[in-house]
Amino acid sequence: MMSKAITIAEAQRYDAHTINEIGIPALVLMERAALATFNNLLNDDFDLSRVVVVAATGNNGGDGIAVARLLHIRGIDVEIYLLGDPAKATPQTSQQLKIANYYHIPFTTDLNHVVNATLIVDAIFGVGLSRDITGKFADAINAINAADAKTVAIDVPSGINADTGEVMGVAVVADSTTTMAYNKIGLLTITGKQHSGTVHVADIGIYAQDHLEHAR
């Protein structure tokens, strides 16, 4: 069990090192992140009757769009509520949108679909959150928090600063969070814990020392 917790800068550095020095493509890391989240969704007691993935256009969104595809292939009723301009998506998230479109996965722009979901996946922001959340992003987070459905956050509950645990304007209150590679120090704070719920640390092939660290 990797009990270490890291900062945003470390997460970004390990990510870049794995992609650029070791040579594991970003899309492979994204697929592993999505598979880990997908498996947590299937293994925990969630009602998957009507799933809505709320995604933005960064790589956190890409993780979520890939989770939506995995659920769709499994025959689960899933929709994507996309925030932001798909034309501005990262290369990996653009690729995930292409794959989602191949499968004709439905997109919704109706926040009532989020409110009426039986399970919500939070794929808005992860470690790339860099300022207070406002506007449509804040509206979506308020809808997520107003919904009866349980919420699973990808990597970081959106709106939580993964270094300090502070709420950046508004933040998702998740029942469970699947965080990549290592826990994040902000999720160990009181506010971080309140917003993360049960934290699952996903081994996606990113290691601080180029190999899986074994408990001493």
Ligand X SMILES: NC(=O)C1=CN([C@@H]2O[C@H](COP(=O)(O)OP(=O)(O)OC[C@H]3O[C@@H](n4cnc5c(N)ncnc54)[C@H](O)[C@@H]3O)[C@@H](O)[C@H]2O)[C@H](O)CC1
Query: Is the Cβ of residue 16 or residue 146 nearer to ligand X in the bound state?
Result: 16
Q: Establish whether 126 is an annotated binding residue.
A: yes
90 binds, among K ion, ligand X, none (CB under 5 to 8 A by kind): ligand X
CA dist 36 and 29 (Å) reads 11
Using CB under 5 A as the binding rule, whether residue 176 contacts K ion is answered as no
Backbone phi, psi, residue 67, to 5°: -60, -40
* Rounded distance between C-alpha atoms, residue 79 and residue 115, angstroms: 13
Distance CA 66, CA 46 (A): 18
Residues forming contacts to ligand X in the complex (CB under 6 A) are 11, 15, 29-30, 33, 56, 58-63, 90, 125-133, 137, 154-156, 180-181, 204, 206
Q: Of 5-13, 73-81, 130-138, 158-166, which part binds K ion (CB under 5 A)?
A: 158-166
Comparing CB distances to K ion, the nearer of 105 and 154 is: 154
Q: Is 62 within any annotated ligand binding site?
A: yes
Q: How do the residues of the chain divide into helix, strand and coil, expressed in percent and rounded to 5? A: 40, 20, 40
Q: Which amino acid is at 167?
A: V
Nearer to K ion, 20 or 134 (CB): 134
- Which residue ranges make up the annotated binding site for K(+)? 60, 122, 158
